[in-house]
Amino acid sequence: MARSGRQSNVSRVYKLTGDMASPPHNVILAVTEHKQQLIALMCNALCTDKDFHLICTQTHTLVVSGDHDTPNEIYKGVKIKSS
C-alpha cells in the first residue's frame, strides 16, 4: 500500500469467498466489511453442511441468526425457519 494510503487509514477491502485462502486475521478484523462477509460465510456454511447437521444436531438445536431477522434452527438434521 502506498504511504499516502497508510496515512489516510485506507484499508483494502477483499471480496471473501468460502474457497479462498483468507487474508491475515489482522486484515480481516480491522475492516468492518470483512467481518460482515466472514459472518455471512460462517452462517452459510453452518446452514448448508448436511454432514455437520446429522452429526451435531441429534441432541442439541443449532440456532443460526447471522444478519437475518429470522434465525434458522437445525435439529436432528432438519432445518426450520424460526418465527
Mean pLDDT by 10 residues, the chain (83 residues): 49 84 83 90 92 93 87 91 67
Enclosing H/E stretch for 50: helix 50-56
Q: What is the pTM of this model?
A: 0.71
What 3-state DSSP class applies to 21?
coil
pLDDT computed for residue 57 by the predictor:
94
**Beta strand 62-64 pairing with 72-75:** antiparallel
